[in-house]
Amino acid sequence: MANTTFSGPVRSENGFEQVTKNATTGAFTTSATYDATIIGGVQELSGAGAADLTNLITELTTAGGAAAVTLADGSTSGQVKIINHIVDGGGTATVTPTTFANGTTIAFDAVGESVTLVWNSTVGWVATSVNGATVA
């Protein structure tokens, strides 16, 4: 099958790509590829803000102070969110999910800390893997 763009749900035997179309140029940008592996986009977040739900991964950069990061509820059970601390400029990034099965916050204060979360529509975000980050 040739490349085809749909505006609704799609089923495929050979994986598929999630794309966005530039309204001005008409160019397509791949934000995620789904097949035997999960390959998703990366959000780079420096300081405070919201971890988005459109990218699989959020990479955190901290500066000298505390950084408050929010994470909204997922949209579908099984949705995965990975958060990595990649640059430590001092301070702690504290992620507060709207609904969190394991507590109320996740704190990152050193490079290499990470958490993998899976959305469950009954209990909220579930931390399935925590590497160095502090869940409270």
Tell me the pLDDT tens digit for each residue of 13-51.
777 777 888 889 988 887 776 666 667 889 999 999 999
Q: Looking at residue 1, what is its pLDDT?
A: 44
Nearest alpha-carbon partner for 94 in 56, 134, 128: 134
In percent, the amount of the chain with pLDDT more than 70 equals 90
Q: Looking at residue 40, what is its pLDDT?
A: 81
DSSP 98: S
| pLDDT digits 0-9 by tens, 72-94 | 999 888 999 999 999 999 899 99
CATH fold group of domain 41-135: Jelly Rolls (2.60.120)
**Average pLDDT score over residue span 5-10:** 72
Cβ contact 14:35 at 8 Å:
yes
Nearest alpha-carbon partner for 63 in 45, 44, 85, 46: 46
In this prediction the pTM is 0.76
Q: Cβ atoms within 10 A of the Cβ of 64, count?
A: 9
CA geometry: angle 44, 50, 51, nearest 5 deg = 55
Q: Looking at residue 37, what is its pLDDT?
A: 66
33 vs 102, more confident: 102
